[in-house]
Structure 1
Amino acid sequence: MIDICDGDKRFSLKVCSYEFPFASDSDDANWLSVEVQVEDGDGVEWSAKEACLRTFELVELLDWFRSILVGRIKKEIYFTEGELGFSYVADKTLCVSFDFGFHPKGLNYEYGVDCEKLVSFSIDKKIICNIVEELEVLVSKFPIR
């Protein structure tokens, strides 16, 4: 599980399982069920669970965080499903975006009206290293099938 805290802002990302654990077709077999818990620092808390990340995207996320460690910063990363995204600013700010099923409005989200919710975190190299270590565990637990 990935946990990021910055004052009264918190973000947890947990990969729960393969969405279809017994699927043999790669299009179905590689979807992951992901749960987030968020506190935005303004008194809003929410959690959500969606099958919105594929195994190869988990690997891409690991590579993205590794690139930050070595100074080859790719500004942002988004995935096929738009629920979750990350961006990094060289001043050590990580922004996590939540949209659609991961938006704090949940089932009350209105397409075309609402937009992504951003929560920013001040992070340092140690936090990034911890995230990389957690992602390595997740990638080994949920390999591409």
Structure 2
Amino acid sequence: MKTKLILALTLSVLAANTFAADGFDRTQSAIAADGYDRTGAATVAADGFDRTGSNAIAEDGFDRTGSNAIAEDGFDRTGSNAIAEDGFDRTGSNAIAEDGFDRTGSNAIAEDGFDRTGSNAIAEDGFDRTGSNAIAEDGFDRTGSNAIAEDGFDRTNTASLS
């Protein structure tokens, strides 16, 4: 009987300290009387801002997770002046020129708009020069040795069409 009485008193003392009169669970003193979760060191501030990191979200709403990653004027500064003040992309060494031409390769797109990725692959007159004179100036196909004759006949096989 004595053991049951000691056990009952112990449980009643634990129950009295576990639940407060207002009904809040105080088993670990994690929830304060005002209802805020205080398991971490001010994870959520009283004003509602997320402070999981060292001032990760500033009072003005800017994201400051990195070293001034988003500037006050809204420009992205994650790289070394990656986005310039005028809006041009400067991620590479002058990759996009001020006039808007793509300069990712060594003058890959010329100022006149012609493709110069190969050694004069597209000529100034627009003809394809990827092979050795594959398309002649008159428009005939010269990919084979005189496969299409000037008169339009197919000469892929020797005299199969006459």
Q: Which has the larger radius of gyration?
A: 2
Greater fraction of residues in strand: 1
Please give the TM-score of this superposition, normalised by the length of structure 1: 0.16
Q: Name the TM-score, length of structure 2 as normaliser.
A: 0.15
Question: RCO greater where, 1 or 2, for CA within 8 Å and sep 6 or more?
Answer: 1
